Amino acid sequence: MSVTSRATTGRMRIGQAGWMHSTWDAEADAAYVDLRGEDSSQAVEQVMAYTAPGRYEVILDLSAAGKLLGVEVIGAEEALDPAFLRTLQRIDDGASAG
């Protein structure tokens, strides 16, 4: 699977599967990777997938059908590679400063 980053839009091309929208709020230290693509389903359940107490948490958003729609990472700067974070669309106030 090839991944091409679009740093200016926070969207990444995933092979032939389509686009994935990703955001990063540096002030909240949270990142979100939206995996729904063309699917318009809404998340109805959140599952704590991993937690490193005092460091970070990974939360999965699931549809009513059990499809994985997105992944939220609280403590993103600790959990994710800085190069990956830079590819995400900034949605905090610091986004306009850079």
Q: pLDDT digit string (tens) for 11-33?
A: 444 444 445 689 999 999 999 99
Q: 95: pLDDT confidence band, cut at 50, 70 and 90?
A: low
Instruction: Render pLDDT for 38-58 as a digit per residue (tens, 0 to 9).
Output: 889 999 999 999 998 999 999
Angstrom distance (rounded) from CA 79 to CA 21: 19
Q: Given this model, what pLDDT does residue 19 score?
A: 53
10 or 95: which leads in pLDDT: 95
DSSP state of 93: G
Quick one: how far is CA 38 from the chain centroid?
16
Residue 97 — pLDDT band, cuts 50, 70, 90?
A: very low
Considering only CA atoms, which of 22, 37, 13 is closest in space to residue 90? 22
State the pTM of this model.
0.74
Distances, alpha carbon 88 to alpha carbons 68, 92, 95, in Å: 19, 12, 11
Residue 90: alpha-carbon gap to chain centroid:
11
The tokens of 56 are what? 């970070």
Please give the residue that has the higher pLDDT: either 86 or 3: 86
Distance CA 91, CA 95 (A): 6
Parallel/antiparallel/unpaired status of strands 11-14 and 3-6: antiparallel
